[in-house]
């Protein structure tokens, strides 16, 4: 099965939504076989895991014989895998920078399309002594961020710099906060996990990462609009796609009213009116 070969080749966790490829031989009175199976492989930023899994189910149910394999990870990890020859049909990044890296490598078919936006939020363990954003700069606070190469890590550092320009924070606010960073993670899910486990006093993540399964275990601290950063999510069909028809169908679903509704339900901001 192609998705299994992809998983073994990459050596990274891959979330698979698959239907069985093998079919028993038909006996007397057996039902007619289903349509021949094929696999659509989607590489997507970790922050898209809930929304894309739901959209994958929708497309699979609409398309008999379609298997869908998702690889969710940091955008920078996915780009490296694609550039090194990993089999993928669709790439969805959490920023324009990493999509540009794939496009500039000649690996994109057509023009990438922004299909969603996201915003930042600070999360803390329920019992953490963090009452507001200013507390992030207090000596001894343990802050966890995604690494600067990770889109949410770069956005977080931009937001801290923006806060340094606002009244009440101080011009060196970002420097003092960054001095409290105890870990730089490879994707946003790792940041959320460390905060949930109490291994950090705070983390900066996307709004979409504080879903129903996370919200009861953390406190949210909003980042004011004047300092927040809007994340742009582009998607593209890849030039080496083995299933370009279904790849284009998946992108069309993302941009459709029903697809945008799923994205919004999972904390992302749709592109209607962009």
Instruction: Answer for the pair 151, 75: CB distance below 8 angstroms, yes or no.
Output: yes
127 — pLDDT class (breaks 50, 70, 90):
confident
Residue 148 has pLDDT above 90, yes or no: yes
Q: Which two tokens stand for residue 228?
A: 């927040």
Q: Are 78 and 194 in contact (CB under 8 A)?
A: no
Cα gap 194→178, rounded to integer Å:
17
Which percentage of the chain shows pLDDT scores above 90? 81
Residue 224 reports pLDDT greater than 70: yes
Please tell me the predicted confidence (pLDDT) of residue 34.
54
Task: Answer for the pair 166, 225: CB distance below 8 angstroms, yes or no.
Answer: no
State the chain's mean pLDDT as an integer. 89
- Summarize pLDDT for 151-202 with one digit per residue, the tens: 999 999 999 999 999 999 999 999 999 999 999 999 999 999 999 999 999 9
Find, among 127, 180, 139, the residue nearest to 156 by Cα. 180
Domains annotated for the chain, with CATH where assigned, are 2-23+36-116+233-270 (3.40.190.10), 120-222 (3.40.190.10)
Alpha carbon distances (Å) from 64 to 23, 37, 67, 71, 114? 14, 8, 9, 22, 28
Main-chain phi, psi angles of 115, to 5 degrees: -115, -10
Q: pLDDT tens across 63-85, in order?
A: 999 999 999 999 999 999 999 99
Per the listing, tokens 């993928």 go with: 88
């Amino acid at each position: 099965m192609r998705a299994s070969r992809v998983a073994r080749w990459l050596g990274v966790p891959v979330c698979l939504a698959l239907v069985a490829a093998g079919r028993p031989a038909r006996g007397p009175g057996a039902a007619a076989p289903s349509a021949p199976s094929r696999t659509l492989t989607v590489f997507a930023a970790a922050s898209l895991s809930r929304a894309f899994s739901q959209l994958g189910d929708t497309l699979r149910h609409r398309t008999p014989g379609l298997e869908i394999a998702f690889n969710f990870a940091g955008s920078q990890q996915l780009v490296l895998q694609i550039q090194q020859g990993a089999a993928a049909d669709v790439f969805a990044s959490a920023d324009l920078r990493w999509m540009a890296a794939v496009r500039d490598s000649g690996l994109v078919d057509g023009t990438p399309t922004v299909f969603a936006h996201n915003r930042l939020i600070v999360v803390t363990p329920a019992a953490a002594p963090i009452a507001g954003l200013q507390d992030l700069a207090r000596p001894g606070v343990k802050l966890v961020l995604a690494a600067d190469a990770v889109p949410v890590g770069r956005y977080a550092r931009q937001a801290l710099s923006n806060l340094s320009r606002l009244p009440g924070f101080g011009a060196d606010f970002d420097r003092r906060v960054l001095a409290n960073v105890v870990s730089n993670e490879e994707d946003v899910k790792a940041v959320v996990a460390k905060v949930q486990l109490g291994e950090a006093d705070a983390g900066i993540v996307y709004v979409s990462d504080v879903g129903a399964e996370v919200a009861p275990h953390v406190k949210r601290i909003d980042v004011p609009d004047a300092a927040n950063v809007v994340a742009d999510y582009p998607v593209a069909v890849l030039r080496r796609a083995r299933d370009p028809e279904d790849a284009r169908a998946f992108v069309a679903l993302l941009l459709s009213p029903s697809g945008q509704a799923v994205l919004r339900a999972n904390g992302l901001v749709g592109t209607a009116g962009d």
